Structure 1
């Protein structure tokens, strides 16, 4: 695991840093947009069935990952294909309006996007419960997956050569590195057998979380 991390860092770190420093503005905007799209598709793949099953009692076809036993939605299953693609289209519109409209147009684009998402979610459903479930899941997915990348774009514009983006990346790397080594060296020695989130990631420890946070603060 450690060897894989080191090799990955040695190969990817120069590439990522070079892209952030030297890539032209339109290319960076496209890159952030593609990242937001990938995050949105992944979020929708579990948000749509979760809300539809719970609020509307609607069964959505799922697949099970053999290694972890986790359940995921078939991304292009008939039940989710149309709302997912429409949500992605709305996200593209929101993101592009925020990019070309600047900070002044960001709030208006956000409000318009949320209202459009709610309306689309309602019109795509056959009943009130399903409409509410789809609207909530689509709005939450947009907020959770797209807005952070809009914030990243605004941070990118704050200084030349992606200085603040590089700072964010370095802080994240330090947090991950501190968490990894802190968990390996101190795991279970300070907080005992208490795990950070055993149902989500059984190997994560409180010691690793604290070490990662402290290293990020120091940097």
Structure 2
């Protein structure tokens, strides 16, 4: 890990934590919209849309959709956001569909025509629900900001747990089977197992610190485990896009880390899944 990568992480992590804990929901929605739209800009390029004007037009359409969702929810309390909750459900349905897409590696591998159109639709289906889920979690009562921070910690723990477990035990527990060798050859089933385990531990510790009742701990742990599995799907889906596009990184905006999409790919899948679990399981 280079010094540049470490320095960038040391700057980004405190900034994200401070934003989640200190900003009101409305301001956090604005900041996160900028981040997600930057990720969308990179996604559109991976989808084969090289023309800047066309990308700008699609970016404006997605921004308009965000504005429309806020406008359509203005008569409701920021703590309910029923329209946002509906989009969250649609987002989870999209990621279930994305699992089938991942299974069929060559689906939409081309860079033109229907393949590109499918990837452009997928961009909106991933970005908008994640943004809505962020708002739903952060505005929830009680301790919404704490829950949102916990989701991010779960994602970070899953990533770290998968990395170190994969390096130490990769190929030893599941007969050398890889997770998705055609998409991401370095990912192992052992790594996923380690990521899930560490994420569940972090989820339980975080829930205790937040003050969640002990009766909800099993539900929280289960939601964390499922969230991690979808995190993996988000990571793999971006890897699939990059392989189809013949690119190593989605961009170069973040020194040592690649593009914005490279940093939020797992988060895009995690947010809707955890938000739906929080609503459904009542924690």
Distance 2:34 2:150 in 1: 21
Match of 1:95 in 2: 66
Match of 2:154 in 1: 171
Match of 1:27 in 2: 27
Distance 1:185 1:75 in 2: 44
Deviation at 1:95, TM superposition (A): 1.0
SS in 2 for 1:167: helix
Correspondence 1:199-214 to 2 at 5 A: 199-214=182-197
Distance 1:196 1:150 in 2: 30
| Contact 1:40 1:146 (C-alpha < 8 Å) held by counterparts | no
Distance 1:167 1:17 in 2: 10
Q: Note closer, same or farther for the CA distance 1:75–1:176 as it changes in structure 2 (3 Å cut).
A: farther
Distance 1:133 1:104 in 2: 33
Deviation at 1:195, TM superposition (A): 2.0
Distance 1:137 1:91 in 2: 14
Q: Note closer, same or farther for the CA distance 1:4–1:218 as it changes in structure 2 (3 Å cut).
A: farther
Deviation at 1:75, TM superposition (A): 5.5
TM-score for the superposition, normalised by structure 1: 0.64
Deviation at 1:99, TM superposition (A): 2.9
Match of 1:124 in 2: none
Show CA shifts across 1:143-180 (max 9, x none).
Answer: 12222122112211114561111110111111111101
1:141 aligns with 2:123: yes
| Contiguous gaps of at least 5 residues in structure 2 | 74-80, 91-111, 203-283
Show CA shifts across 1:67-107 (max 9, x none).
Answer: xxxxxx5362xxxx32x222211211111222343324445
Correspondence 1:193-204 to 2 at 5 A: 193-204=176-187
CA RMSD of aligned residues (A): 3.2
SS in 1 for 2:198: helix
Match of 2:50 in 1: 74
Match of 2:165 in 1: 182
| Contiguous gaps of at least 5 residues in structure 1 | 50-72, 112-128
| Contact 1:178 1:211 (C-alpha < 8 Å) held by counterparts | yes
Deviation at 1:10, TM superposition (A): 4.6
Aligned residues: 171
Q: Which has the higher contact order (CA 8 A, sep 6+)?
A: 2
| Contact 2:166 2:187 (C-alpha < 8 Å) held by counterparts | yes
1:191 aligns with 2:167: no
Deviation at 1:37, TM superposition (A): 0.8
Distance 1:75 1:156 in 2: 36
SS in 2 for 1:188: coil
